[in-house]
């Protein structure tokens, strides 16, 4: 009787479930137990899946954050590298400037030192060269020898300004001009040919067929003051030392 009753009850429950679906489970005997477990599982699964998703989201966010930080770090590193490179270039520029300034300073120091030295030795500075006017008289050759010993040479008058400087001296002096090698072919002591000349009237004339092979300023009161004289004459002379001249090293031979 009990078995029959249970079978009937089971059939009724199945029919009821078919008719009312899941909602019926909450009102019926055995199914009431099943429907109490399944929602818990679902919730558990839902929580587990949600937790998993949250973990994945966390991982994704972490990766994204790290990538973003790495990108920022790289950008910052690039900026630092560029700044360092700019800094290096500026340092190199500054070092080059310091080197140039040091060279200029040394050059100026040398000029000042030269200027002091030559001024004390009685030299006069004019337009980039130092000039020395002797107080004594010598032959043209010995005059030149004196200049060479002083690291200079006899005056070369190759500009209008130098001729004006010479005119202002108002003295008869030897200049660095000679035609000793070829008569009539006048050359300066540095070997350069005579181009612009300031010969006095009727000069050079090898006066009365004498050997006048050396230039002087016999007619110093005139603008055109040059004369040719015998090289053995005793006259004052003018030495010229150009800037950066290396003639200090020259070793001339004295006239016997
Ligand atoms: O002493 C030689 C010198 O003599 C004369 O000058 C005073 C000649 N000048 C004239 O004849 C115009 C120079 O040419 C000569 O060198
Ligand atoms: Ca003459």
pLDDT at 43: 86
Higher pLDDT, 88 or 247: 88
Average predicted confidence (pLDDT) for the chain: 85
| Confidence class for position 248, pLDDT limits 50, 70, 90 | very low
pLDDT at 155: 98
The atom number, within ligand 1, closest to the CA of 212 reads 16
What value does the mean pLDDT take over residues 102-131? 91
Residue closest via CA to ligand 1's atom 15 equals 207
pLDDT at 27: 46
Q: What is the 3-state secondary structure (H, E, C) of the chain?
A: CHHHHHHHHHHHHHHHHHHHHHHHHHHCHHHHHHHHHHHHHHHHHHHHHHHHHHHHHHHHHHHHHHHHHHHHHHHHHHHHHHHHHHHHHHHHHHHHHHHHHHHHHHHHHHHHHHHHHHHHCCCEEECCEEEEECCCCECHHHHHHHHHHCCCEECCCCCHHHHHHHHHHCCCCEEEEECCCCCCCCEECCCCECCCCCECCCCCCCHHHCCCCEEECCCCCCCCCEEEECCCCCECEEEEEECCCCHHHCCCCCCC
Distance 211 CA to ligand 2 centre (A): 9
Higher pLDDT, 143 or 249: 143
Distance 207 CA to ligand 1 centre (A): 6
216 lines ligand 1 (CB under 6 A): no
pTM equals 0.62
pLDDT at 23: 47
126 lines ligand 1 (CB under 6 A): no
What value does the mean pLDDT take over residues 120-138? 94
């Amino acid at each position: 009787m009990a078995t029959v009753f249970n079978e009937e009850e089971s059939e009724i429950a199945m029919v009821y479930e078919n008719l009312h679906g899941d909602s019926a489970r909450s009102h019926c005997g055995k199914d009431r137990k099943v429907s109490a477990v399944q929602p818990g599982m679902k919730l558990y699964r839902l929580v587990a899946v949600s937790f998993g998703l949250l973990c994945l989201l966390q991982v994704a966010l972490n990766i994204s954050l790290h990538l973003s930080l790495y990108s920022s770090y790289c950008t910052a590193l690039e900026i630092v590298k560029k700044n360092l490179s700019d800094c290096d270039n500026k340092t190199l520029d500054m070092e080059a400037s310091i080197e140039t300034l040091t060279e200029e300073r040394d050059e100026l120091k040398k000029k000042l030192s030269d200027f002091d030295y030559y001024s004390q030795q009685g030299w006069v500075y004019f337009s980039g060269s130092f000039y020395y006017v002797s107080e004594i008289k010598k032959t043209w050759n010995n005059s030149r020898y004196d200049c060479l010993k002083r690291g200079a040479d006899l005056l070369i008058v190759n500009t209008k300004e130098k001729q004006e400087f010479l005119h202002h001296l108002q003295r008869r002096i030897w200049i660095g001009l000679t035609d000793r090698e070829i008569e009539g072919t006048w050359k300066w002591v540095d070997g350069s040919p005579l181009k612009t000349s300031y010969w006095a009237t009727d000069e050079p004339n090898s006066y009365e067929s004498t050997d006048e092979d050396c230039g002087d300023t016999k007619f110093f009161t005139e603008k055109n003051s040059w004369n040719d004289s015998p090289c053995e004459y005793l006259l004052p002379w003018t030495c010229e030392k150009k800037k950066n001249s290396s003639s200090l090293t020259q070793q001339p031979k004295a006239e016997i």
